[in-house]
Chain A
Amino acid sequence: SAVISQKPSRDICQRGTSLTIQCQVDSQVTMMFWYRQQPGQSLTLIATANQGSEATYESGFVIDKFPISRPNLTFSTLTVSNMSPEDSSIYLCSASGSGQPQHFGDGTRLSIL
């Protein structure tokens, strides 16, 4: 299965600032996704990162708040914009090959002061 690396692994940020999280896969994959994991809550899909086109966002998530890029088949970024304490969470990248289940990175632990 693909190895997925995320950077940074954790960060503490000031409210009102933005942070870009990087996700690198060690092989070409068909699909890449971004999830959010909040304490006591289910892992929730933010968006599907589409290579060469705009991401597909789930209900409740918008591009202005969570812009996503996917310039090629192995790399994607998620930006958390204009952060508030409610954005404190773990952000996870996942990837899958064609017809294969998703595998996850270790996540980015984000705290907003």
Chain B
Amino acid sequence: QKEVEQDPGPLSVPEGAIVSLNCTYSNSAFQYFMWYRQYSRKGPELLMYTYSSGNKEDGRFTAQVDKSSKYISLFIRDSQPSDSATYLCAMSASPQSGSEKLVFGKGTKLTVNP
């Protein structure tokens, strides 16, 4: 079993839809959870990062962590064509906010159609 599992998609939604992206993991030592957005031919861009269980909201984006289920989610409200990208979840067991080894999912490719 891989440490982090993420459905690669592709996922195609109409503009304005609510998008739900998910990852599961097996290592209970993970403490920091991140979502990166990667546009074609660009590097991963940090979107959200959270510590332990709970919700974090930033504009149209909400990150959720459920450590008891080893499950994390990213919700995108009112999705826009500019949200079309690959979304990577990443996790770290580091005690310092993910500043050490990150373990990534394979990424989910999202297309938002106008």
The reply to whether chain A is a binding partner of chain B is: yes
Bound state CA distance, A58 and B104, in angstroms? 14
Residue pair A42, B99 in contact (C-beta under 8 Å): no
Contact A92 to B43, CB < 8 A, known contacts A42-B104, A42-B105, A43-B104 = yes
- Which of chain A's residues have a CB closer than 8 A to the CB of B43? 4, 92, 104-107
- Which of chain B's residues have a CB closer than 8 A to the CB of A48? 100-101
| Known interface pairs A41-B106, A42-B103, A106-B41; 4 further A-B residue pairs with C-beta atoms within 8 A, sorted by A's residue number | A45-B102, A102-B46, A104-B45, A109-B41
Q: Mark A90-113, 1 if CB is under 8 A from B, else 0.
A: 001010111111111111010000
Quick one: which of A41, A102, A109 has the most chain B CB within 10 A? A102
Residue pair A101, B100 in contact (C-beta under 8 Å): no
Bound state CA distance, A57 and B36, in angstroms? 23
A-B contact pairs, 5 of them (CB 8 A): A30-B99, A31-B99, A41-B106, A42-B103, A48-B100
Residue pair A43, B99 in contact (C-beta under 8 Å): no
Q: Mark B67-104, 1 if CB is under 8 A from A, else 0.
A: 00000000000000000000010100000111111111
Report how many A-B pairs have Cβ atoms within 8 Å. Answer: 65
Residues of A in contact (CB 8 Å), total 28
Question: Is B42's beta carbon under 8 Å from chain A?
Answer: yes
Query: What is the chain A residue whose CB lies nearest that of B105?
Result: A42
The 7 lowest CB-CB distance pairs between A and B, nearest first, are: A104-B43, A43-B104, A106-B43, A96-B99, A42-B104, A101-B98, A104-B44
Contact A92 to B44, CB < 8 A, known contacts A42-B106, A43-B88 = yes
Bound state CA distance, A41 and B2, in angstroms? 12
Among A14-51, those with CB < 8 Å from B are: 30-31, 33, 40-45, 48
